[in-house]
């Protein structure tokens, strides 16, 4: 027995069902493509995002009185012992040196007229990254030095350092640190935005390379590196200073 031929209405219903199925299929393909595109975009953007951005709370400092501050140096320029510290503001060992050893050098040797200390910039953490947070922090610190606030800015940088290239020294935060210290912001921003101390930082790097600096902090006493290869203790620094003082 032959089946009945589909009526016009039935054929139209079948065609409509097929159109809907095709439409759903195309819609699903579009959604899949858009989802994949979003995933790829997020994966590309995430590495460039700073989780610790300029909105993070800034750890404030209490300025410390240091003896005979002159820019990024302190002490009597005619002191018998010259100490140079090659450092990076994104260096955890430098943070430890700054917070535990440097105050002892200041109290026991700089204040007594034995030592003249200079901070040298050696932004080693920038070597393999494009963000250059160490270099920008160095530039900002020297802009603060124009207002004779280098050491306060140096302190607030280390106080807020918690990791390398995670946004703690983004341009926004470096400016925010200066605001926290109540610097003259027009002067600071002008200096910072033009990267005024690029040559000074480059000269420090060149000097460090000539002195065979491989890591930070590297401490020199009258031109001689002490404890090369690892971070010096205060006892190491004190011995080097005392040994230099007894030399004829």
CATH number at residue 186: 3.40.30.10
Distance CA 215, CA 144 (A): 25
Same domain, 36 and 74: no
Same domain, 39 and 145: no
Same domain, 24 and 129: no
Same domain, 73 and 195: yes
Same domain, 35 and 74: no
- Which residues lie below 8 Å from residue 158, measured CB to CB, with a gap of 6+? 89, 94, 95, 98, 99
57 part of a folded domain: no
3 part of a folded domain: no
155 part of a folded domain: yes
Enclosing domain of residue 17: 8-45
52 part of a folded domain: no
Same domain, 102 and 40: no
Same domain, 26 and 95: no
Measuring CA to CA, which residue among 158, 141, 147, 154 is closest to residue 182? 147
Distance CA 95, CA 148 (A): 21
233 part of a folded domain: yes
How many domains is the chain built from?
2
Same domain, 79 and 20: no
177 part of a folded domain: yes
Same domain, 41 and 81: no
Same domain, 39 and 87: no
Q: What is the pLDDT along the chain (248 residues), one digit of tens a residue?
A: 555 555 656 766 667 677 777 767 776 776 657 666 665 444 444 444 443 444 579 999 999 999 999 999 999 999 999 999 999 999 999 999 999 999 999 999 999 999 999 999 999 998 878 889 999 999 999 999 999 999 999 999 999 999 999 999 999 999 999 999 999 999 999 999 999 999 999 999 999 999 999 999 999 999 999 988 788 999 999 999 999 998 76
- Which residues lie below 8 Å from residue 178, measured CB to CB, with a gap of 6+? 140, 143, 144, 153, 185, 188, 192
């Amino acid at each position: 027995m032959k089946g009945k031929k589909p009526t016009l209405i039935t054929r139209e219903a079948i065609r409509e069902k097929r159109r809907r199925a095709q439409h759903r299929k195309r819609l699903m393909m579009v959604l899949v493509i858009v989802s994949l595109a979003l995933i790829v975009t997020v994966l590309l953007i995430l590495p460039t995002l700073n989780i610790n951005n300029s909105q993070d709370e800034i750890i404030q400092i209490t300025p410390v009185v240091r003896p005979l501050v002159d820019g990024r140096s302190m002490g009597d320029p005619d002191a018998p012992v010259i100490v140079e510290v090659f450092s990076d503001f994104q260096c955890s060992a430098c943070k430890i040196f700054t917070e535990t050893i440097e105050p002892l050098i200041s109290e026991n040797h700089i204040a007594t007229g034995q030592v003249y200390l200079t901070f040298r910039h050696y932004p080693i953490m920038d070597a393999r990254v494009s963000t250059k947070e160490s270099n920008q922090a160095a530039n900002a610190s020297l802009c603060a030095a124009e207002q004779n606030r280098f050491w306060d800015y140096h302190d607030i940088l280390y106080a807020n350092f918690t990791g390398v290239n995670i946004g703690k020294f983004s341009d926004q935060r470096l400016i925010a640190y200066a605001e926290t210290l109540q610097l003259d912001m027009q002067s600071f921003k002008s200096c910072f935005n033009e990267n005024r101390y690029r040559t000074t930082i480059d000269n420090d790097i060149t000097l460090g390379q000539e002195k065979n600096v491989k890591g930070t902090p590297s401490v020199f006493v009258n031109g001689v590196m002490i404890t090369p290869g690892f971070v010096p203790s205060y006892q190491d620094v004190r011995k080097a200073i005392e040994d230099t003082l007894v030399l004829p």
